[in-house]
Every structure is written in structure tokens, then in C-alpha cells.
Amino acid sequence: MGDMSDAYRVQNPVNNKVIESFDFITDEQLDKALADADEAFRSWRETSYEQRGELLRTVASLFDANRDRLASIITEEMGKPLNQSNSEIDDVVDIFTYYADHGAELGADEPIEHEGGTAVLRRVPLGVLVGVMPWNFPYYQVARFAGPNIMAGNTVLLKHAEICPRSSQAIQDIFEEAGAPTGVFTNIYADHDQISTLIADKRVQGVSLTGSERAGRAVAATAGENLKKAVLELGGTDAYIVLDAEDIDEAAQTAWKKRIANTGQACTSNKRIIVMDDIYDDFVAAMVRIAESFTEGDPANPGKGEYYPLSSRGAAEKLHEQVQDAVKAGATLHTGGELTGEGAYFTPAVLTDVPVGSESYYEEFFGPVAEIYKVSSDDEAIELANDSNYGLGGAVFSSDVERARRVANRVETGMIHINIPQAGGAELPFGGVKNSGFGRELGPLGMDEFVNKQRFYVAE
């Protein structure tokens, strides 16, 4: 088959077969896409929030109407079980609807009290934005970039992951069907050099990337060099702190369900599960039982208690290597961690005793690996939670809510939850600190990143 890693392709992770390949965009086509986006901005910026909201509402309804086809596309592209692909469509509908409903108030002028004139803070769109988006939530990630920014009056160029060529084109098709003017939303099969060229072009005003820390560093460097605004969301090693549990089996089930969601391939997965010593042994035993009860499933026909392939064979091999390295460093692999078959199946694993401070400890395990740590005090739990290069999400569990609050209050992270693994909703801001990146998506902050917060002053 040769190395397909550079080309856009649909490669089914169930069996690693390439189903369809797509050519990279030519430099001429890319320049036309940019020119169209820039041209579209001239008129799109003049439209009212009502008109923009109407477009987003139509986009939302088309996602809803085409959900079965859209869901099956990403199930084949990156192996997401069909039921989870379907719930992803729900999130997309929510995001476009949220910005359609609230865009006008979020973008409204704010008067500033001042003697001697009328001062107003306006939110003026910037222009063409480039989005570099990941394969783990192929529609949701794009919606949270495109929805608020198109509502704000910007136009967008989307460079999706190389394994998401059908879903990325499907989003453009929906925008076209919804009546978006040419250039408001454009899918481009660009390579990394072409993205650098775009960021350097004076018609491009900003770049938003969700992806690996490595990709984030590269894009941020190019953006910095060209003085372009950037928003980065770069993964995490989220702490999930269990201070106490009346029902340990139930606590383990809750933790496991969060870790196995999207086959463990979420930036906000509970990647470091930190458990108090008095319940630790029982908790680990429960996690091992749960992991061993899971059987290999077909993402196109999902059932209960099943695990699914990772996004690609390469991703599975990398995870396998990471687990092996952790064991070499002194970690205990209680179960799982095996590559099976030709595809990207990786048996769910439970890992303990990863040496704190080791390379393995600081790495993000992007897949179904439950990493569990034992602590003997709240202070130790907090210290461990904060001993991370990342700070994206996290959660604290306790029957004593005040105790959980005190612990949560000291965790350095962009999003922290008490007694729930993660809250969802288009109205809740999303983003992190430290190497998890900077900037925020979703909620009222999502429309505030790529706008000119302009002082507009009229003397009396």
C-alpha cells in the first residue's frame, strides 16, 4: 500500500484499509479559496446578526436532517461507535443554535461611562480565519470554531485532519446548501506548508488549532512570527480526583465510562485518576474487572460493554509503545494494552505505579488506558494534580461538597468539575492553561476571540 500518511484519505481503522484518497489542494486552488474567503468577508461583515443567525439555524437543521449519513461517515473515518457519532451531531446542532440565538447579544455594543463624549466598545469582525481541526470529534470541533466566528462576521478556511476528508467536505456542502455565500466556509485539503503560507498572508487575520502540543507549537511559532492572533487547544492529562466513595464499584463505573468515551481519545478524558489510599485497592480491582469485561466491538454496529478501534493503526501503535515504556519505567500493567488484528484495536488497559516525574508520567495517553495513582491526603492529591505540563479539565469527587470545593479550588486548570466527570453544553466555555494552550471556545467567550474590540468614540 505504501505510506499514505501524507495524503488525505478515508482509512477504516477496523481493518486499516484505505477506501478513498484525495489530492492535496494545489497552490493555485488555495489562493483562489483565500481570495474567495477574503472577498466574501467584504460583504459578510455587513450582514446583520439576524441574517447570520438564519444561516446558522439552517446549518443546524441540515445537520439534524442528515444525521444518519453524517454519523456513518465519521464512524468509518475514525472508528467512533455509531451511537456516539450520533450524539456528536446533537452537540453540533446545539452549538450552531446557541450562536444563532445569542450571537446578537454577545456581539452587541457596550457603552463605557466617560465624561466628555460617548465611548462604546464594539466587536468588529477581523476577516479570514484558518481553522486546523483534529479527527477525534470531526464535526463538533469544526462547529465550535466555525459557528461563533461566522456569527461574528468572519469567514473561515478549514484544514481538517488528513483522515477526515469526507466529513470536512460534508460540512462545506451543508453550508452551501444552507445558502452561505461562496467563501464564508471553505474546506481545504491543505498540507502543513500551505497552512504556514496562509498564516503568513496578510488577508488571514487569525488561526485556531485544536490538536497535539507539537502541532500547537508549530502553528503558534508561525502565528507569532507573522503577528497573527491564535487560539490553541492542545490536549491534557486531566486529573480526576476521588476523595471518597460510598459505593466504590459505582465510582469506578463512572470513572471508566468517562475514560472509555470516544475510545479514550478526548482531550478532556480523565487521564490521571487520583484515588485516596483507603479506597484505592478496591477501586483498582473494580477498574480491572470492568476493563476485562469489555469485548471487541464493531463501531458500525455498537453494543454494550464493547471497545472500538483507535482512529488509526499508527495511533494504536504509538499508544502501545507508550504503555510499554511506562512498564519499563516501573509501572504495573494490570490488564489489557494489547494490539490485536490488522486494524487499530487496542485492549482496554489499567495502569498503576507510573513513576511520578518520569517521562511516561507527563505524557498524554490518547486511548483506553486508565492510569491510577494513590494518595493519602487532600494536599497530596492537589500536588499530584498540579504536577502536569497541561491544565485543560478535571474533576473532584466527594460526598462532602465543601471538601471537594476546597480541593477543586486549588487545581490549576481551565475547567474544573465537582461530582461530575464533565459538564456539557454549548454555553459553557472550553479551554485550558499551561501547555493545554490559550484562548477559549464555546459559550460567551467563543465569539470574543477573533473580533476587534474597538473603542468607538464620539466627542460631545
| Structural domains of the chain, with CATH | 8-234+435-459 (3.40.605.10), 239-425 (3.40.309.10)
Q: Are 335 and 292 in contact (CB under 8 A)?
A: yes
How confident is the prediction for the chain on average, in pLDDT?
A: 97
- The confidence band for 52, taking pLDDT boundaries of 50, 70 and 90, is very high
The HSE-up count of residue 327 (CA atoms within 13 Å, CB side) is 16
Exposure string of 33-60, with b = 16+ CB inside 10 Å and e = fewer, is: bbebbbbbbeebeeeebeebbebbbbbb
- The confidence band for 2, taking pLDDT boundaries of 50, 70 and 90, is very low
342: DSSP letter: T
**Lowest pLDDT segment from 2-6, 15-19, 280-284:** 2-6
Q: CA-CA distance, 171 to 59, in Å (whole number)? A: 9
Q: Are strands 394-397 and 437-438 parallel, antiparallel or unpaired?
A: unpaired
Q: Is the pTM of this model over 0.85?
A: yes
Q: Cα–Cα distances in Å, from 277 out to 102, 245, 378, 455? A: 46, 12, 11, 55
- Has residue 191 got a pLDDT over 50? yes
**E-strand spans in 54-165?**
110-112, 117-125, 128-132, 155-159
User: Mean of the pLDDT values across residues 318-322?
Assistant: 98
Q: CA-CA distance, 430 to 45, in Å (whole number)? A: 26
Q: Look at residues 260, 366, 249 and name the one whose alpha carbon lies nearest to residue 304.
A: 260
* pLDDT tens-digit series, residues 198-233: 999 999 999 999 999 999 999 999 999 999 999 999
* pLDDT tens-digit series, residues 240-251: 999 999 999 999
- Has residue 401 got a pLDDT over 90? yes
Length of the chain: 460
Q: Alpha helices, DSSP H only, in 124-234?
A: 140-151, 165-177, 192-200, 213-225
- The pLDDT value given to residue 431: 98
Q: Are strands 272-276 and 239-242 parallel, antiparallel or unpaired?
A: parallel
- Has residue 180 got a pLDDT over 50? yes
Amino acid residing at 96: F
- Has residue 446 got a pLDDT over 70? yes
Task: Give the 3-state secondary structure of residue 343.
Answer: coil
- The confidence band for 4, taking pLDDT boundaries of 50, 70 and 90, is very low
Q: Which residues are catalytic?
A: 233, 267
- The confidence band for 260, taking pLDDT boundaries of 50, 70 and 90, is very high
Q: Are 172 and 186 in contact (CB under 8 A)?
A: yes
- The pLDDT value given to residue 1: 30
- In sequence order, what are the residues at sequence separation of 6 or more whose Cβ sits closer than 8 angstroms to the Cβ of residue 379? none
Cα dihedral 236, 242, 248, 250 sign: negative
CB atoms within 10 A of CB 329: 14
- The pLDDT value given to residue 5: 54
